[in-house]
Amino acid sequence: MRWMWIDRVLSLLPAKQLVAIKHVSLAEEHLHDHFAASDGLGPALPVMPASLIIEGCAQAAGILVGHAGDFKEKVILAKVNRAQLTLDAMPGHTLRYTANIDRMDASGASTHVVVERLDHAGTGSTAEQMGKVELMFSHIDQNMKGIAFPEHNFVFGEQFKTLLRTSGVA
């Protein structure tokens, strides 16, 4: 099973923009170790690791890039150009990933993702930008011609197609 770091796609403008969300829950095991209670250091402080937030960005942008080519290309994350996260995400928060394609051609795509944190505590939900991540993707079959890559190693399997379908995105 592949780990999925987005829960739902809210909107999709083909080859332009995808908006997805991730609900952060204390039921997620990684939060119990990051950061666990420790003698002398105080109580637990469950924070979603920045690497997993960046992975959520990569999944949202990767789906957008894959969808632009009708999932015919094997899309891989080639490079994280820049990642800046200024706030923590904790249980009860929702992350909103707004992925945009900046440039796309036969070899791949460059994208940027704005990450917002929605806090549902209190009387209303407030959103604040918590970061921006710039990512590059490669169409590996175009860039590594002659090498056979097995289909099962790529992210656009049934789980992500199911995510798009259940989100109401064809």
Name the percent of the chain lying above pLDDT 90. Answer: 57
Rounded to an integer, the average pLDDT of 146-167 is 75
Of residues 10 and 123, more confidently modeled: 10
Residue 148 neighbours by CB under 8 Å, 6+ apart: none
Percentage of the chain with pLDDT > 70? 91
Measuring CA to CA, which residue among 109, 118, 92, 120 is closest to residue 28? 92
Residue 111 has pLDDT above 70, yes or no: yes
Q: What is the pTM of this model?
A: 0.89
| Residue 86 binned pLDDT confidence (cut-offs 50, 70, 90) | very high
With tokens 């009860």, the residue in question is: 92
pLDDT category at 155 given cuts 50, 70, 90 is: low
Calpha distance 109→67 (Å, rounded): 12
Q: Is the per-residue pLDDT at 1 higher than 50?
A: no
Gap between the Cα atoms of 170 and 162, Å rounded: 10
Segment 124-149 shows an average pLDDT of: 86
Q: Where are the domains of the chain?
A: 8-166
Architecture of 8-166 per CATH?
Roll (3.10)
pLDDT for res 162: 84
pLDDT at 147 over 90: no
Exposed, middle or buried: residue 33 (CB in 10 Å: 0-12, 13-18, 19+)?
A: exposed
Residues belonging to the active site: 34
Q: Is the pLDDT of residue 88 over 60?
A: yes
Residues with Cβ within 8 Å of 156's Cβ and at least 6 positions away in sequence, in order, are: 62, 63, 66, 71, 75
What average pLDDT does range 19-26 have in this prediction? 94
What's the Rg (C-alpha) of the chain? Answer: 17
What pLDDT digit, counting tens, does each position of 35-75 carry? 777 777 777 788 999 999 999 999 999 999 999 998 888 88
